[in-house]
C-alpha cells in the first residue's frame, strides 16, 4: 500500500479516513477538494485538474481522497490500492448536514481556500442519491480492476475502524 485512492459519497468520511491512514502509513495525503477548488467555489479547469493529479501520481507514495469521476480512471490506473467507503446514505447525508452547520460561513480544512461552507441542497440531494446514481458506476470500475489492484469496500463505521486498527497492527 503505497499509492492509495479513497473514494465514496460526500459525508462518507474520505478526508478524515485519509488523514488517519496517512498517519498510520506515514504517507502524504492529498485532498482533491482542496486542490481542485479555487476561491469562491470555482472549479479548476479539467486540463489543470489532470495536470495537478499527474504531478501527485508521479510520486513514489501517496494517498489521494476524492471522487471527481472525470479523472477517476487516471487515479485508478496509478493506484495500487483502492478504498471505497460505501457507507449508508442516511449516515452520509447526516454527516454532510452536520458539516454544513459546523463550518457554515467558514472554509473546511480539506477544502480549497475561500470556499466558504454554505447550505447546498443540490449537494445534499447528490449525497442522498449517490447509491443509485454514482455507486453502480464505481462498483463497475472496481470490478474491472479487481485482478490488478487491492480493493477494499468498507460498508460501515465498524469496517472503517477495523481497517485502520489492522493497519496500525501491521505498522
Q: What is the pLDDT of residue 17?
A: 98
Backbone angles phi, psi at 107, to 5 degrees: -100, 130
Q: What is the pLDDT of residue 147?
A: 92
On whether the CB atoms of residues 37 and 115 are closer than 8 A, the answer is yes
Domain that holds residue 17: 3-170
User: Which alpha helices (H) appear in 26-120, and where do they start and end?
Assistant: 32-36, 46-57, 72-78, 89-103
Query: pTM for this one?
Result: 0.95
Q: What is the pLDDT of residue 89?
A: 96
Identify the band that residue 170 occupies on the pLDDT scale cut at 50, 70 and 90: confident
Q: What is the pLDDT of residues 140-158, one digit of tens each?
A: 999 999 999 999 999 999 9
Please give the average per-residue pLDDT across 33-48, as a whole number.
92
Domain count, the chain: 1
Q: What is the pLDDT of residue 171?
A: 63
CATH number of the domain that 65 lies in? 3.40.50.300
Residue 169 has pLDDT above 90, yes or no: no
Residue 62 has pLDDT above 90, yes or no: yes
Amino acid at each position: 500500500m503505497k499509492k492509495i485512492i479513497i473514494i465514496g459519497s460526500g459525508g462518507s468520511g474520505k478526508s478524515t479516513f485519509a488523514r488517519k491512514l496517512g498517519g498510520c502509513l506515514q504517507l502524504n495525503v492529498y485532498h482533491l477538494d482542496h486542490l481542485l477548488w479555487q476561491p469562491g467555489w470555482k472549479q479548476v479547469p479539467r486540463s489543470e485538474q489532470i495536470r495537478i493529479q499527474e504531478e501527485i501520481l508521479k510520486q513514489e507514495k501517496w494517498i489521494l481522497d476524492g471522487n471527481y469521476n472525470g479523472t477517476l480512471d487516471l487515479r485508478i490506473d496509478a493506484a495500487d490500492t483502492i478504498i471505497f467507503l460505501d457507507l449508508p446514505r442516511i449516515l452520509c447525508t447526516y454527516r454532510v448536514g452536520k458539516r454544513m452547520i459546523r463550518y457554515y460561513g467558514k472554509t473546511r480544512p480539506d477544502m480549497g481556500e475561500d470556499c466558504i461552507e454554505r447550505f447546498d441542497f443540490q449537494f445534499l440531494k447528490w449525497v442522498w442519491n449517490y447509491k443509485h446514481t454514482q455507486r453502480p458506476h464505481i462498483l463497475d470500475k472496481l470490478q474491472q480492476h479487481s485482478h490488478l489492484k487491492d480493493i477494499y469496500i468498507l460498508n460501515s463505521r465498524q469496517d472503517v475502524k477495523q481497517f485502520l486498527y489492522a493497519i496500525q497492527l501491521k505498522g
